[in-house]
Amino acid sequence: MPPRMLIIVDVQNDFCEGGALGVEGGGAVASRIAEHVREHGAGYDRILVSQDWHRGDTDNGGHFAVPPAEPDFSETWPVHCVAGTEGAALRTEIADLAEELGERLEIVLKGHGIPSYSVLEGTVNATGEQVDQLIADGHWEQIDVVGLAYDFCVRATALGSAERGAPVRVLRDLTAAVHPAGIPSLEEELTAAGVEIV
């Protein structure tokens, strides 16, 4: 039977309420993802968990709006998810899950020194695999994408996976958007690209 993959995108402290770039509903999404993995994790052959892992000594290729510049929340952002900081750490619900499942949850780091939205730009820590290559090479039965934020990193990951021929689903209840008003047009874009939204 062809393998199935779950990609958990950037469920980090800085992207949840109270963080540098908190998404409303981020904490609840973290809880629901953890519950989903506990209930359905055995059905996935691989579970990838990505983290933005930006440098603190540069603007990461223009990704950070450095004062006095103001972030536009589209292409430039407040300083967030600096490698090794509490903001870059996995949200408690996901960190606890990682402790429970050990090697079953494979950490992927992305965006060290550059803007990075898609998990396909990252590398699997334990194996050194490029996620892009892993998805392009795999004869996947299904890739499920969840996490934060729906309209940026989840979007980019889902679209990138679909472009490489993988059957992709976004599990809608397991994500939240920076700009909720834009969700209808976002979902039109995803559906047009062959991404299933469930």
Say which of 52, 81, 110, 151 is annotated catalytic: 110
Catalytic residue selected from 16, 81, 151, 153 = 153
CB 64 within 8 A of CB 76: yes
In the residue annotation, 10 being an active-site residue is answered as yes
144 is an active site residue? no
| Closest among 132, 153, 154, 129 to 144, alpha carbons compared | 154
Per the annotation, the verdict on 151 as an active-site residue is: no
Catalytic residue (one of 10, 14, 144, 151) = 10
* Residues annotated catalytic, as ranges: 10, 110, 153
